[in-house]
Amino acid sequence: MTDASNINYFTEAGSVEAVNARVGDETNPRLREVMESLVRHLHAFAKDVHLTQEEWGVAIDFLTRTGKMCDGNRQEFILLSDVLGLSMLVDAINNRRPSGATENTVLGPFHVEGAPVRAMGDEISLDGKGESCLFEGRVLALDGKPVAGAKLDVWCDNAEGYYDVQQPDIQPKWNNRGVFVTGADGTYAFRGIRPVSYPIPDDGPVGQMLGALGRHPNRPAHMHFIVSADGYETVITHTFVADDKWLTSDAVFGVKSSLLTKMEPGESGDTIWKSNFDFVLNAVRKD
Ligand code: BEZ
Ligand code: FE
């Protein structure tokens, strides 16, 4: 007869050990580390809040509806990660940079590969809406030297708060998007519109969750940038309009004080605003 007292049957007190003991000896060590920790934290959470059967059912239903709202155009799970601050945390853990280097923030769901490469100074706003704005600055290395051949992939919403991909039948393709490449002096310049604040897509389970928590879905006005150059870490970031009312309560926690840009009055008659921002790149370590 087997001695039942030695068998690791599931108990409330020994729940973590019961599950983690099943991980096979040949399991990838990193997978083991991640999954064992996940089980520890998940079980501790359920015990901490004394999760009821009904609440567990609500959570399963929420996750099911979240999954059903994911396809090639909509990724409700990433949105969930964004509003829980997890996207920003994973980004922070993986993009620690020396002081002075431009900081990252969330990519967001509206980046599109393959935007047109435009000449410096070109216009990206194609729908004729909004307040004109000149975006200019330099791409520099940490030692202050200009970075030539740096690629700036930029995108923002239109004056009504929607990205072109959210309104394919209304906005021109590639509205408020473009790619610019710096010359020897590292400077960049392009024309667009002063970005406006907008709500993240809130017609799904994540929006319902925000509502239940008394949270708003808004993001402060921003221009997205991916700045890349050979020999440097790629920066995925935004510049934020410095006086926006949602800066301190961004729905996805993307704001960093180093990324604020003050909108100054434009100098020429056809440009109402001007935003000047320098990007500072961190050289890739050569080990
Ligand atoms: C955005 O800035 O485009 C964005 C970021 C996170 C969630 C939704 C939108
Ligand atoms: Fe955005």
pLDDT, tens digit, 9 for 90 and up, residues 149-190: 999 999 999 999 999 999 999 999 999 999 999 999 999 999
User: How far apart are the CA of 222 and the centre of ligand 2, in A?
Assistant: 6
Question: Lowest mean pLDDT: which of 1-15, 24-38, 72-86?
Answer: 1-15
Pick the ligand that lies closest to the CA of residue 111. 1
Query: Which is it for the CA torsion 205, 208, 214, 220, positive or negative?
Result: positive
Domain locations along the chain: 4-51, 76-281
- Residues having CB closer than 6 A to ligand 1 are 79, 82, 106, 108-110, 200, 219, 252
* Average confidence score pLDDT of the chain: 95
Q: Which pLDDT band holds residue 47 (cuts at 50, 70, 90)?
A: very high
**pLDDT of 2 higher than 70:** no
Ion ligand 2: residues, Cβ under 5 Å: 108
Q: Which CATH architecture has domain 76-281?
A: Sandwich (2.60)
The string of DSSP codes covering the chain is ---GGGS----STTHHHHHHTTS-TTS-HHHHHHHHHHHHHHHHHHHHHT--HHHHHHHHHHHHHHHHTBSSS-BHHHHHHHHTTHHHHHHHHH----TTSPPP----TT--TTPPB--TT-B---S--S-EEEEEEEEEETTS-B-TT-EEEEE---TTS--GGG-TTTSPTTTTEEEEE--TT-EEEEEEE----EEPP-SSHHHHHHHHTT---EE--EEEEEEE-TTB--EEEEEEETT-TTGGG-TT----GGGEEPPEEPSSTT--EEEE--EEEPBPP--
Confidence grade of residue 259 (pLDDT, cut at 50, 70, 90): very high
pTM of the model: 0.93
Q: Which ligand is nearest to the CA of 106?
A: 1
CA distance 223 to 156: 5
- Determine contact, residues 141/283, Cβ cutoff 8 Å: yes
The pick from 80, 82, 162, 202 for probing ligand 1's pocket by mutation, whose C-beta has the most ligand atoms within 8 angstroms, reads 82
Q: Confidence class of residue 70 from pLDDT cuts 50, 70 and 90?
A: very high
State residue 269's pLDDT score.
Answer: 74
- Residues 261 and 121: beta-carbon distance below 8 Å: no
Q: Which residue has the higher pLDDT, 36 or 269?
A: 36
Closest ligand 1 atom to residue 224 Cα is 2
Q: Cα of 212 to ligand 2 centre, how many Å?
A: 23
Quick one: pLDDT at residue 5? 62
Q: Is the pLDDT score of 85 beyond 80? A: yes
What pLDDT, on the 0 to 100 scale, is given for residue 3? 58
Give the residue, out of 70, 106, 196, with the most ligand 1 atoms within 8 A of its beta carbon, to mutate for a pocket test.
106
pLDDT (tens digit, 9 = 90+) per residue, 206-250?
999 999 999 999 999 999 999 999 999 999 999 999 999 999 999
Diameter over CA atoms, the chain: 92
